Amino acid sequence: MPGFIANDPISVPHAYKIKEDVEIAGFFAAIFSWGKRQIIIAKSLELMALMDHAPHDFVVHHREKDLRRFMNFRHRTFQPDDLLYFIRFLQQHYTRFSSLEDAFNPTPGEKIKDIEAALSHFHRTFFSLDYAPKRSRKHVATPERHSACKRLNMYLRWMVRPATKGVDFGLWKSIAPHQLICPLDVHVGRVARSLGLLTRKANDWNAALELTTTLHSFDPDDPVKYDYALFNMGLEES
């Protein structure tokens, strides 16, 4: 399973040891995860280099002049204005909380009971600053818009599932692996339907729930572990 890492965006946070660095590197790698994996990884690594390979320290301690270096950074529709807002939100968050996990939790200090509510809460929290650009909202999905939230569900998988297999990190404890929702995109959806695991035609939030419910019947404690197989089968067929 660790051989999976090198050619996957999860390789980006694996370059770090400090929890906050892993969280931030993983967050950007997940947000950038649409399109070719080689490009996703390259752009994520480019951003980490612009943050001096110390994303948490940069986010928290940068000065306004340091932000000029990002004015030429782009990844598909992700533009400098989006990146500057993301950095400002992360700076504001990490001056109040020790972990990005708290941004997903409607009741900090307690266990998260509902992943759908957690994702919706994260979206509202992330764009709660007065100067949040409207255009940036498309880069962070929410179930309230019926999105499958593939990238955020993948990010939660990275942060929550135990590190025992050498792939995921197991850093966050307010969510249990059995609560995770399977990351659903075009490739996973096609494979899941061909295997009879999914009947809904749209790749939306309800489809992600349906697929996860089916996977629960195979392993109620860790249904999202099957994401690796479904995703790689999808790549082989594309």
Per-residue pLDDT tens over the stretch 140-189: 999 999 999 999 999 999 999 999 989 999 999 999 999 999 999 999 99
Query: pLDDT at residue 226 above 70?
Result: yes
Task: Give CA–CA dist 230/182, Å, rounded.
Answer: 10
For residues 129-140, give the mean pLDDT. Answer: 95
Instruction: Give the count of alpha carbons within 13 A of 64, CB side only.
Output: 0
Task: Give CA–CA dist 150/127, Å, rounded.
Answer: 19
pLDDT at 234: 57
Query: pLDDT at residue 237 above 60?
Result: no
Compute, in degrees rounded to 10, the torsion defined by CA atoms 202, 79, 228, 160: -100
Select the more confidently predicted residue: 177 or 1.
177
Query: pLDDT at residue 235 above 80?
Result: no
For residues 34-62, give the mean pLDDT. Answer: 97
Strand runs labelled E in 29-156: none
The whole-angstrom distance between residue 119's C-alpha and the CA centroid of its chain comes to 11
For residues 71-85, give the mean pLDDT. Answer: 97
pLDDT at 134: 94
pTM of the model: 0.96
CA 225, 202, 135, 47 dihedral sign is: positive
Q: Could you tell me the pLDDT band of residue 12, with boundaries at 50, 70 and 90?
A: very high
Query: pLDDT at residue 238 above 90?
Result: no
Percent of the chain clearing pLDDT 70 (strictly above)? 97
